[in-house]
Structure 1
């Protein structure tokens, strides 16, 4: 990497990380119950702890912030990889139908178990995200099966099948939610629009291993993503086993997105917006674009969560709605700039 590009990359990454820290500070100290910086530091460092501060920080605010950061980073990184695999700048994890599959599984869980399992063990706590993760992987497997053509994975067919599957699974979710009692229907509706209001430490513990496992794989495969942009025939000519590499990258992206959606619900547009901003800032090479895209995703979700819980307080908007307010105009802008 030339020195000037390296300096630019690290400058952008540090600035983005500084903005993430600023967003975390604002989210920790502001809300219905305001805290000072001193209160936060004393609570985190366990200096003269106050029970009320412990409750606000460790039970309510910090789990939401950590979950928002992990979800944002995962969706941003996976979005950059999926755009690279499909060679489509308008691709998004939600387009592949993974979000819809996880959402349908969650709605099935709410319909049959009313959103909870009896007991107090980890299985009862993690039942809903576990259903979402299984649903996301199941939808991805179905889409993958129908996207396989002539012994290879067709990127354009992958997107078309994903859109169709997402539409069908969305209709299934709507049908089941209309059969629920009013309380469960409201819960399902909020979850499907994307929210992390119920994030807790067990949910984070369930999601974190998938990010630790698959994000490094995607970053390590960045040179392959760069070569895929030349076209599959040219990539093969340069010695890339294109089908195997696409399978690895797609499976890793699916694992990340499924884990994120199982905790946060259907938060769209992060995987679309973050990679585009990252590529404008640090260039198209994926070894730089993926980490920056993940960091921008963190910033987007943390900031959106703060806006969602404070602007209309004591009422709370779903995070997905706040991000969609930004994402839809940006998608239209990208669509107008893309040559079809």
Structure 2
């Protein structure tokens, strides 16, 4: 049975990677300026003599695709970890308020330091993930404190607390953004909707270190994550330092989500949809579910961004809005399914 599951997992990973490569090819060729695959390949290998192709691919399309790929992987894997830690299949970094906390701190960063730092400069872009992580951690801390009861973390209360914190932080974010001048408000509004329109290589560079440090650590902890699905009393009887391990794993997950939010804004529902699809396909074992969640998350972001960029051209619909249109009905369907069960 395990050999069959492993074979199924490898096939699914292979299909997912092929689908991602296909979306990358489509994303590089289609847009306001349509390019042939030969034009794209010759430009990527610097054999094309057309400077406009170089600008379109290397300054606009490729960094946007790479950033969407990285953010999708981060959100998919972080969503799987959050669902395992909370033992709640409806948990999602966006629904729980982690996105809202990270977003609030970044908008406050843009509002309070707009006169001291160039918000489009290298220093601001490198500092934003730090502020995002601080906001995400504050949100996660409040959620865990308020969602606990005498038996530990209450999964039902967790969703309600997350909604409350999201509402409160979103109100503060909106107030700060309304106090900005029109130019900064436009930037903040575009960022809050979850957009890859401003993607550039500096955003990619600022996100990569966090992923290179945090992702391997989570993938190394798959056995611990499997055990975390058990009840608190069982974990304590096994001698596992539950509070310490859960805090560290949540910190890593928040770091992944918040660093992505810092460069793209709040992109919701990836951390809900990708883990569900992965566990339905390969089961609950994290050594298979985590990588597949990352692949599905990346594919979801790339597809949503392509739809938002091309379907409404010349206008561009932010990827966060496209995913919300997809994710909201999916969330309602999950709620109705759990009620029947």
On the 8 A contact 1:73/1:294 being kept in 2, the answer is yes
Deviation at 1:244, TM superposition (A): 2.2
Where does residue 137 of structure 2 map in the other structure? 137
- What CA deviation, in whole Å up to 9, does each residue of 1:13-48 have, x standing for no partner? 110111111111100111011111111111111224
Q: Distance in 1 between matches of 2:119 and 2:316?
A: 29
Where does residue 268 of structure 2 map in the other structure? 268
Residues 65 and 169 from structure 1, CA distance in 2 versus in 1: closer, same or farther, beyond 3 angstroms? same
- What CA deviation, in whole Å up to 9, does each residue of 1:272-310 have, x standing for no partner? 000000111111111111110110000000111111111
Where does residue 110 of structure 1 map in the other structure? 110
Where does residue 61 of structure 1 map in the other structure? 61
Deviation at 1:203, TM superposition (A): 1.2
Q: Distance in 1 between matches of 2:304 and 2:116?
A: 27
Q: How does 1:272-291 map to 2 (within 5 A)?
A: 272-291=272-291
Q: Distance in 1 between matches of 2:58 and 2:272?
A: 31
Structure 1: tracts of 5 or more residues without a match = none
Deviation at 1:168, TM superposition (A): 0.9
- What CA deviation, in whole Å up to 9, does each residue of 1:77-121 have, x standing for no partner? 000000000000000011232211122123223334559933986
Q: Distance in 1 between matches of 2:312 and 2:273?
A: 25
Deviation at 1:242, TM superposition (A): 2.1
Where 1:108 maps in the other structure, the secondary structure is: helix
Q: How does 1:44-193 map to 2 (within 5 A)?
A: 44-114=44-114, 117-118=117-118, 122-144=122-144, 146=146, 159-193=159-193
Q: Distance in 1 between matches of 2:89 and 2:50?
A: 49
Deviation at 1:52, TM superposition (A): 1.1
Deviation at 1:330, TM superposition (A): 0.5
Residues 12 and 29 from structure 1, CA distance in 2 versus in 1: closer, same or farther, beyond 3 angstroms? same
On the 8 A contact 1:100/1:266 being kept in 2, the answer is yes
Structure 2: tracts of 5 or more residues without a match = none
202-211 vs 217-226, which deviates more? 217-226
On the 8 A contact 2:27/2:65 being kept in 1, the answer is yes
Where 2:197 maps in the other structure, the secondary structure is: coil
Matched, 1:34 2:40: no
Deviation at 1:139, TM superposition (A): 3.2
Q: Distance in 2 between matches of 1:116 and 1:128?
A: 14
On the 8 A contact 1:98/1:137 being kept in 2, the answer is yes
Deviation at 1:159, TM superposition (A): 4.6
Deviation at 1:212, TM superposition (A): 1.5
Name the count of aligned residue pairs: 340
Q: Distance in 2 between matches of 1:144 and 1:209?
A: 27
Q: Distance in 2 between matches of 1:76 and 1:119?
A: 28
Q: Distance in 2 between matches of 1:115 and 1:324?
A: 33
Residues 7 and 158 from structure 1, CA distance in 2 versus in 1: closer, same or farther, beyond 3 angstroms? same
Q: Distance in 2 between matches of 1:283 and 1:179?
A: 48
Residues 222 and 173 from structure 1, CA distance in 2 versus in 1: closer, same or farther, beyond 3 angstroms? same
Q: How does 1:248-259 map to 2 (within 5 A)?
A: 248-259=248-259
Where does residue 238 of structure 2 map in the other structure? 238
Where does residue 22 of structure 1 map in the other structure? 22
Residues 21 and 130 from structure 1, CA distance in 2 versus in 1: closer, same or farther, beyond 3 angstroms? same
Where 1:78 maps in the other structure, the secondary structure is: helix
On the 8 A contact 2:125/2:206 being kept in 1, the answer is no
Where 1:309 maps in the other structure, the secondary structure is: helix
Q: Distance in 2 between matches of 1:263 and 1:301?
A: 14
Matched, 1:301 2:298: no
Q: Distance in 2 between matches of 1:328 and 1:44?
A: 38
Where does residue 228 of structure 1 map in the other structure? 228
Where does residue 216 of structure 1 map in the other structure? 216
On the 8 A contact 1:194/1:321 being kept in 2, the answer is yes
Q: Distance in 2 between matches of 1:5 and 1:133?
A: 36
Deviation at 1:234, TM superposition (A): 1.9
